[in-house]
């Protein structure tokens, strides 16, 4: 048995949030998400959280999770093993929703602002020529350039962990800038200048304070902080080229 302490809040009924405590039986290999499903199925069916794929693919189950051996991180509940959180097979696991986003209920947050920022960077290929009838050819070497950033599943863990996103809701967030790098480096895309102008401002690149929480918490081991540094360099080179009349 382990104790799950789960953030509870219903804006329609509650003035402040609280933590509900639930005894959850577990065995080796069980995930935090399975623990939450146990609570819904056996203890309290009113608990609200999001999940879908259960395989770290859809990004819907990101939340803040801490345990005896783990001081708390934004992670995916579906690939966080209970045994990794407990010191001697027992203890308390505390679960809270993603930060900086309004709470719909319990662990479910309103992702509107998160996706509004994502949409603002034009997250699709912008080719200059008429697309070929069959396909754009991309070599394995060219594909490798976008391999890392393409793996981002937009779970929101980086956004929840970023204090800048917490203090400035207009900040585009690490996810938007990582995805900009993904399209910038794609050989099928030709909107490099436009992409830099979309993030090269005080809501984007220059709002980041290089705190690196996003890099520490990414459940897919990506490097949004590195992507932000790379995009800053690209912007500076573009400005220098412009000043020299070369671009
Ligand atoms: S349920 Fe899809 S990422 Fe966890």
C-alpha–C-alpha distance, residues 62 and 108, integer Å = 10
pLDDT at 24: 97
Q: Do residues 149 and 48 both lie within one domain?
A: no
Atom of ligand 1 nearest to the CA of 56: 3
Rounded CA-CA distance 123/154 in Å is 12
Domain limit, last residue, from 108, 124, 144: 108
| Ligand 1 touching residue 56 (CB < 6 A) | yes
Pocket flag, ligand 1, residue 58 (CB < 6 Å): yes
Q: How far is ligand 1, taken at its centre, from the CA of residue 51, in Å?
A: 5
What is the sign, positive or negative, of the torsion defined by CA atoms of 75, 76, 77, 83? negative
Please list, in sequence order, all residues whose beta carbon lies within 8 angstroms of the beta carbon of residue 213, skipping any fewer than 6 positions away: 158, 161, 162, 163
Query: For ligand 1, is residue 61 a contact (CB within 6 Å)?
Result: yes
Averaged pLDDT score across all residues of the chain = 93
> Which atom of ligand 1 is closest in space to residue 62's alpha carbon?
4
Q: Where are the beta strands (DSSP E) in 27-169?
A: 62-67, 70-76, 92-96, 103-105, 108-109
* Block residue for tokens 């290999």: 29
Q: Considering 85, 108, 131, which residue would you say is the last residue of a domain? A: 108
Nearest atom (ligand 1) to Cα of 58: 2
**Are the C-beta atoms of residues 144 and 182 closer than 8 Å to each other?**
no
Question: Does the predicted TM-score (pTM) go above 0.85?
Answer: yes
Same domain, 55 and 171: no
129 and 201 in a single domain? The answer is: yes
Name the token pair of 31.
């995930």
The number of CA neighbours under 13 Å toward the Cβ of 169 is 9
Atom of ligand 1 nearest to the CA of 59: 3
Instruction: Provide the pLDDT for residue 135.
Output: 84
Q: For 4-27, how does the pLDDT look when each residue is reduced to its tens digit (9 = 90+)?
A: 999 999 999 999 999 999 999 999
CA gap 133, 120 in Å, rounded: 28
Residue 77 Cα, ligand 1 centroid: separation in angstroms? 7
Distance between Cα 57 and ligand 1 center (Å) = 6
pLDDT of residue 247: 66
29 near 47, Cβ under 8 Å?
A: no
On whether both 62 and 28 belong to a single domain, the answer is: yes
* Distance, CA of 199 to CA of 247 (rounded, Å): 18
Q: Tell me the pLDDT tens digit for each residue of 21-55.
A: 999 999 999 999 999 999 999 999 999 999 999 99
Residues 115 and 227 in one domain: yes
81-91 pLDDT, tens per residue?
999 998 777 78
Helix (H) or strand (E) holding 19: strand 18-24
CB 14 within 8 A of CB 2: no
CATH of the domain at 61: 3.10.20.30
Instruction: Please provide the DSSP assignment of 50-82 as one string.
Output: --SSSSSSS-TTEEEEEETTEEEEEEEGGG-BH
* Domain span holding position 210: 111-243
| 135 Cβ neighbours under 8 A, 6+ residues apart | none
Write out residues in the chain with pLDDT < 70, as ranges: 247
Would the CB of 57 count as within 6 Å of ligand 1?
yes
Total count of domains within the chain: 2
User: Best substitution site from 32, 54, 156 to test ligand 1's pocket, by max atoms within 8 Å of Cβ?
Assistant: 54
């Amino acid at each position: 048995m382990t104790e799950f302490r789960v953030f509870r809040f219903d804006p329609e009924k509650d003035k402040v949030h609280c933590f509900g405590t639930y005894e959850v039986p577990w065995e080796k290999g069980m995930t935090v998400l399975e623990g939450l499903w146990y609570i819904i199925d056996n203890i309290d069916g009113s608990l609200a959280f999001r999940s879908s794929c259960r395989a770290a693919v859809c990004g819907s189950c990101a939340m803040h999770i801490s345990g005896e051996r783990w001081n708390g991180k934004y992670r995916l509940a579906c690939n966080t093993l209970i045994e990794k959180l407990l010191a001697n097979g027992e203890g308390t696991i505390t679960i809270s929703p993603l930060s900086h986003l309004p709470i719909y209920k319990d662990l479910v947050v309103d992702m509107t602002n998160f996706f509004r920022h994502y949409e603002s960077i034009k997250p699709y290929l912008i080719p200059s020529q008429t697309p070929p009838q069959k396909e754009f050819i991309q070599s394995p070497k060219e594909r490798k350039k976008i391999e890392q950033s393409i793996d981002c599943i937009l779970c929101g863990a980086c956004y929840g962990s970023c204090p800048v996103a917490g203090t400035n809701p207009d900040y585009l967030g690490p996810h938007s800038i990582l995805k900009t790098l993904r399209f910038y480096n794609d050989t099928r895309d030709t909107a490099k200048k436009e992409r830099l102008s979309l993030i090269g401002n005080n809501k984007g690149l220059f709002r980041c304070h290089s705190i690196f929480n996003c890099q520490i918490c990414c459940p897919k081991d990506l490097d949004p902080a590195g992507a932000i540094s790379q995009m800053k360099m690209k912007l500076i080179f573009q400005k220098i080229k412009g000043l020299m009349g070369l671009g």
